[in-house]
Amino acid sequence: MIDTLKNTRNLPDSALQELLESTDAALAQRLKDTAREVCLKVKGPEVLIRGLIEWSNVCRNDCLYCGIRRSREGVVRYTLTPEQILQCCDRAWNDGVPTFVLQGGENPAAAKSLIPTVREIRERYPSAAITLSLGELPFELYAALKEAGANRYLLRHETANPEHYASLHPAGMHLESRLACIRELKRLGYETGMGMMVGSPGQTTRNLVEDLRLMQEVSPHMIGIGPFIPQEGTPFENYPAGSAETTLRLLAIMRLMFPEANIPATTALATLLPGGKQIGILAGANVIMNVYTPITERKKYDLYKGKTDV
């Protein structure tokens, strides 16, 4: 098994499942070490720091897992003003962080109003990367945001299995539409990210292998994954959180499958596992997101319980 780790792409489904489920701690460690080795060789020693700006928690969707879902009560809704966004970018830039990630609830009208702000950020920082993560938007809007200067987009597919997808989302949301968006973003020339939650309710190891196969097919530039963490006041509040260990093994497998991809060690991982961002780097991730959301709004971007902001 160990000899074949570097050939993860060609492993059969059964071997991938075994890597994810094995109780052999030495094998799991070897997997992470091999991923780290490949990461150092292919991506070099640098850990890339991104500046995360949680732009708005207003959302039209009602995803069953999410703490900013439309119907969750008690969420104080906010949307950063253009001035606040630019201040966040300035702070990040002055810290030496040249990539701004604007993330928020899915809200096409408000996303449209971001076009001039994106243009302004691009003018101020011609060399910065501007990453958006604003959900499923009309294709013309993706194109207009790209034209204004955005160059990367994160849109997790959440799960590659259509039935599982349907069980995590309200009627009217479909895996096919999400995948159509991901393909369109790639076509428009965005560096495109996808990924899934690990351990979301009803997920099986078989589903995780389906996620890996889907990503092999789409070939994303970036892959973001994190454990599911229940949030109070959502339909999934009483489900157990996903496993940090499985998340780490997936990070390692993804590094071996997609050596060139930019893969963050995410906040959700760090929320479950103290030191999780650093431990994720040791398992093959090469990106860390620093939060630049104004302190006054941070707690309101309440995706899951206990979300850490370091």
Pick between residue 36 and residue 242 the one whose CB is nearest to ligand SAH.
Answer: 242
Q: Of 36, 43, 65, 175, which lies in the binding site for ligand SAH, with binding defined by CB under 6 A?
A: 65
Overall size of the chain counted in residues: 310
194 residue type, one letter = M
Q: What is the number of other CB atoms lying within 10 angstroms of the CB of residue 41?
A: 9
Asked if 153 touches ligand SAH (CB under 6 A), the answer is: no
Pick between residue 6 and residue 60 the one whose CB is nearest to ligand SAH.
Answer: 60
Residues 226-255 binding ligand SAH (CB under 6 A) are 226, 228-229, 231
Region binding ligand SAH by CB under 6 A among candidate stretches 33-41, 82-90, 211-219, 225-233:
225-233
Asked if 303 touches ligand SAH (CB under 6 A), the answer is: yes
Q: Of 11, 32, 135, 249, which lies in the binding site for ligand SAH, with binding defined by CB under 6 A?
A: 135
Region binding ligand SAH by CB under 6 A among candidate stretches 21-29, 32-40, 75-83, 99-107:
99-107
Nearest residue to the partner ligand SAH, using Cβ: 135
Region binding ligand SAH by CB under 6 A among candidate stretches 17-25, 154-162, 185-193, 254-262:
154-162
Asked if 57 touches ligand SAH (CB under 6 A), the answer is: no
Asked if 148 touches ligand SAH (CB under 6 A), the answer is: no
As measured in angstroms, the least distance from the Cβ of 128 to ligand SAH is 21
Asked if 268 touches ligand SAH (CB under 6 A), the answer is: yes
Which residues of this chain interact with ligand SAH, rule CB under 6 A?
65-66, 103, 105-106, 133, 135, 155-156, 158, 197, 226, 228-229, 231, 268, 303-304
